[in-house]
Amino acid sequence: MIDAYIVRDPQGRVIGMSVYSYRNALNDAFEYHNGPIPKYSLETKFENKGDAAHNGYTLKHEQVAL
């Protein structure tokens, strides 16, 4: 198991992931996902609380299996 920052869309699909930083995960989601990502809202909420949700999109620090 490794720690990673995960961005999910409203359907629960992983659209961004990084083991380095939440900003890298958000950048991945923003660059490769076909649709609007509430990047600023997720970033602001994550910095304040350690996890974020906005319009069904989520950003969390999770453990994932490789």
At 6, the pLDDT band (50, 70, 90 cuts) reads: very high
Q: Which domain holds residue 60?
A: 2-64
Q: What is the pLDDT of residue 10?
A: 94
Q: Cα separation of 46 and 34, whole Å? A: 22
Burial 34-43 (b: 16+ CB within 10 A, else e): eeebbbeebb
CATH, residue 56: 1.10.10
Read off the pLDDT of residues 50-65 as tens digits, 9 standing for 90 and up: 999 999 999 999 999 8
Phi, psi (degrees; rounded to nearest 5) at 7? -110, 130
Q: Note the pTM of the prediction, 2 decimals.
A: 0.91
Domain total in the chain: 1
Read off the pLDDT of residues 11-54 as tens digits, 9 standing for 90 and up: 999 999 999 999 999 999 988 888 788 999 999 999 999 999 99
